[in-house]
Structure 1
């Protein structure tokens, strides 16, 4: 097995950290109910179902991400990225000044356009362009870890702001919520402005590597070619399986308290460690290992396979299991999942989809991979409402099925690479792969 020397510079890490802040801000307001659920419900005078509808509205943005990817490939991805960020900050300010449910529906729809149509495909392309093709797993794994770290910082800032303004003089909890949303916009503006000077100009880099400037702009036939390419869909299925598994892990916390008898405080501590602590280690490790063996997909397949075995063990545990055993098994599952998720967005690179089409491919991968947002929370909620604690069994079985899907997809990728990619028998329909010559920028 061929091994590759992998490295990432301090400058790249710093840029990725700031991009992690931007990524956190993009999702902070749309998912603010995860932290300030009751205050948001009060501010909007909304029911639980209505808050769920807001998440679904935002999730629909995943379906238009492929078109956003085309925009980022057709025009300057950096410009599209910055527009998406500034639009998100502006929408946060506007929403903070007029918090009611009908207006929130409009804001969440607009946030879906800014975040998932404009920002996400451009973000993915810019991360890929930060390094050469041999370090993509490390880049994306590090980006995911730094996003988690930035999320911790953002949440601490939000909680501090909330504590200062959630007093009677500012309208109580609603006043605190309004201050938090404004703080998201302020931090976003600062970070985005700094990134203007640090992010590379993708058009300039592509032109310097192409023989002709026209080759940096993809044609209509090439857009269709990216959509039809099996490599794009195999990448999307990778993200679909990894993301589905990641969502399921959030239900481990109530399962530990409701079924296994772990205290709320203990399960909460485990959840924080699993969500943030392990992510900082697991995500970059997964990407790094994938780069070392030249196959992020193989790392994903192995870790999801092991995760399925450990999840079966977790399902057999009863209330008589020791807290230590429950903690160890839970953290092990979380660690394996974070390793698998670390490099999942680098599969298009592994499959040799040219960087010229990075945003278009990312948009399609986003639509396929993150579509569980549209149905999975509702499905899990239905199972728990209908079957009580027995609903957790269905959640775990579904999770294991997703792990199996990830393993099978990894095997398919392996044989597809052997037959087509490594033999040079595949290219984007209607285009050429000359852009593969681009190095680190």
Structure 2
């Protein structure tokens, strides 16, 4: 079924809202890192105070590892079975895990929860969400489709983020002390709300998303007589076809460096502002929500239209990486002037969060056909999201061992990823121009 008119925008919004909750819940450390430290080391003795940062890295490692294994499997599943039921199953699974996580269980349970979060994300929701989003627009609309989707995801994250700040802030007592029992109760309320939201979105998907979605790109090709209005059958040959495409590997590396950059900045700017710049936990969480959701929403919405104007999503990512790398250096230089550094971090966030808006709008530009989107996004996601496996644990070790200097090591890492990403973007632009010259892409 081809989805047209207003319904395609409604479907885009619904799957984007689901993806927004999917990204928000496993990455609560991005907004509430210091509250999580207290929950796991003081409210309950899940981990000792001496290695609680490493423990947060541990369960993040398991989430990332499962996702890395699961992305290619999820890509195959969505190409074989379609989007609808993968979205529903994944949402129900992550909803149930959110209720469990809200109870602040023991160490093993928290690790199991994040393993299941990884299954729900990578086996079921992620590739189904990406393929549905791509199907809603034709080739000329991919930038605006994906950036609009990222904007919706950011709006959802912003609302959930401010709700979390409001709830967890109730634990702050006069004198800036934290009531651990209130903190635990409000953590439960926050996670229970997220769990219920997953279930509600699963029900909406059941009623509004058809079992077989025909993409707008395929519909246009069929109308012009260039292709049949059918899905390419998933075979071992089609998987091999994706693996043999240079574009698959170029995008894998480009998005790997973009995501490495964004993940490190998102994950540790909040804690950096508390422990290096000296602001309060509540202020840090509020700033984190503003950066990660409000600024991210506007930045990701804008980048799609900017990329369409420039005419190349890959080139746009290269420009953004260059600007973001310079701003990372500025963060290091201004850290002794807290007010100035906070200002720089907000400008920094405009750039690095914006990149997310067009990660997967680049597929057509390097010659990956719509019919193989699932397999391609699975392979690309396996590589580009590898930082979810190791970086949180690595950064946790740095912070536990080196204290404030650990943050400098994080920023050095970010700068290195930026430089390498710029080089890959340059190579990818040249490859895209070659495909256009040969008439293989529009």
Same fold at TM > 0.5: yes
TM-score by length of 1: 0.82
Change in 2 beyond 3 A, CA 1:43/1:85: farther
Q: Which of 46-55 and 111-120 deviates more? A: 46-55
Note the C-alpha offset of 1:40.
5.5
Question: Which residue of structure 2 lines up, in the alignment, with residue 186 of structure 1?
Answer: 196
- For 1:123 and 1:40, locate their aligned partners in 2 and report how far apart those are by CA, in whole Å: 32
Structure 1, unaligned stretches of length 5 or more?
1-7, 166-170, 427-435, 437-441
Does the CA contact (< 8 Å) of 2:399 and 2:405 recur in 1? yes
Does the CA contact (< 8 Å) of 1:244 and 1:372 recur in 2? yes
| Alignment deviations for residues 140-170 of structure 1 (CA, whole Å, 9 cap, x no partner) | 11211221110122244556777999xxxxx
Does the CA contact (< 8 Å) of 1:300 and 1:341 recur in 2? no
- For 1:318 and 1:277, locate their aligned partners in 2 and report how far apart those are by CA, in whole Å: 24
Question: Which residue of structure 2 lines up, in the alignment, with residue 306 of structure 1?
Answer: 323
TM-score by length of 2: 0.82
Change in 2 beyond 3 A, CA 1:52/1:216: same
- Counting matched residue pairs gives 413
Change in 2 beyond 3 A, CA 1:128/1:179: same
- For 1:163 and 1:79, locate their aligned partners in 2 and report how far apart those are by CA, in whole Å: 37
- For 2:105 and 2:424, locate their aligned partners in 1 and report how far apart those are by CA, in whole Å: 44
Question: Which residue of structure 1 lines up, in the alignment, with residue 243 of structure 2?
Answer: 227
Note the C-alpha offset of 1:263.
6.8
Change in 2 beyond 3 A, CA 1:232/1:196: same
Note the C-alpha offset of 1:129.
0.8
Matched, 1:329 2:344: yes
Does the CA contact (< 8 Å) of 1:69 and 1:363 recur in 2? yes
Note the C-alpha offset of 1:68.
1.2
Does the CA contact (< 8 Å) of 1:43 and 1:100 recur in 2? no
Note the C-alpha offset of 1:78.
2.2
Partner of 1:218, secondary structure, is: coil
Structure 2, unaligned stretches of length 5 or more?
172-180
Partner of 2:367, secondary structure, is: coil
Does the CA contact (< 8 Å) of 1:243 and 1:369 recur in 2? yes
Aligned 1:326-405 pairs, distance under 5 A: 326-405=341-420
- What's the RMSD between the two structures over aligned residues? 3.3
| Alignment deviations for residues 326-370 of structure 1 (CA, whole Å, 9 cap, x no partner) | 343222211121232221121113223111111111111211111
Partner of 2:137, secondary structure, is: coil
Partner of 2:363, secondary structure, is: helix
Question: Which residue of structure 2 lines up, in the alignment, with residue 420 of structure 1?
Answer: 435
Question: Which residue of structure 2 lines up, in the alignment, with residue 70 of structure 1?
Answer: 76
Change in 2 beyond 3 A, CA 1:267/1:193: closer
| Alignment deviations for residues 154-195 of structure 1 (CA, whole Å, 9 cap, x no partner) | 244556777999xxxxx8654544443332222112122223
Does the CA contact (< 8 Å) of 1:283 and 1:340 recur in 2? yes
- For 2:374 and 2:298, locate their aligned partners in 1 and report how far apart those are by CA, in whole Å: 27
- For 1:261 and 1:59, locate their aligned partners in 2 and report how far apart those are by CA, in whole Å: 30
- For 1:261 and 1:185, locate their aligned partners in 2 and report how far apart those are by CA, in whole Å: 33
Note the C-alpha offset of 1:271.
3.5
> Which of 133, 140, 153 is matched with 1:134 structurally?
140
Question: Which residue of structure 1 lines up, in the alignment, with residue 332 of structure 2?
Answer: 315
